[in-house]
Every structure is written in structure tokens, then in C-alpha cells.
Amino acid sequence: MESKGFQVTASACDVLNQAQLERNICNKVGNNIGKMVMDYTAEDVSFLTSTNFESAYNINILAHPLLKASASGDS
């Protein structure tokens, strides 16, 4: 991205923490737990759903107004 003239910075963010997510819009989030499907607990599924789906949804909701204002996002 720097080669295209964008300013690039990095920061750590817990994508399940809404306040941190709002301060650090980030993407490329995902996690996996190496188990057989029948060995997953309800907590495992909740963690994976929150990390892999809900965080991506929330990131997109936060980023949409910025993308729309930049004329780079769909309406």
C-alpha cells in the first residue's frame, strides 16, 4: 500500500471489543480451532462465530461510511 502512496500504520486490536474495534478498524480477521467437528464445544462455536463472522460484520458497518465518503465504497 505504501508503494501506491498510502500511509500505512499497524496496531493491535481485539476485534471482539467494540471500543477497540471503533478505534482501529481492521480486517483480515479469522481463527480456527483444530478439532474434529463433533469435538467442538458450544464455547468453541461461539468463539469462532464471534471472531470469524460477527467481527467482520461489525468492521464492515464501521468502515462503510468511510468508504462511501471516499467514493470507493458501494452505497
Residue 75: band (very low, low, confident or very high) from pLDDT cuts 50, 70, 90:
low
pLDDT > 80? residue 14: yes
pLDDT of res. 35:
94
* Mean predicted confidence (pLDDT) in 31-56: 92
Cell 468511510: give the residue. Answer: 66
Cell numbers found for residue 45? 462455536
Average pLDDT taken over every residue of the chain: 84
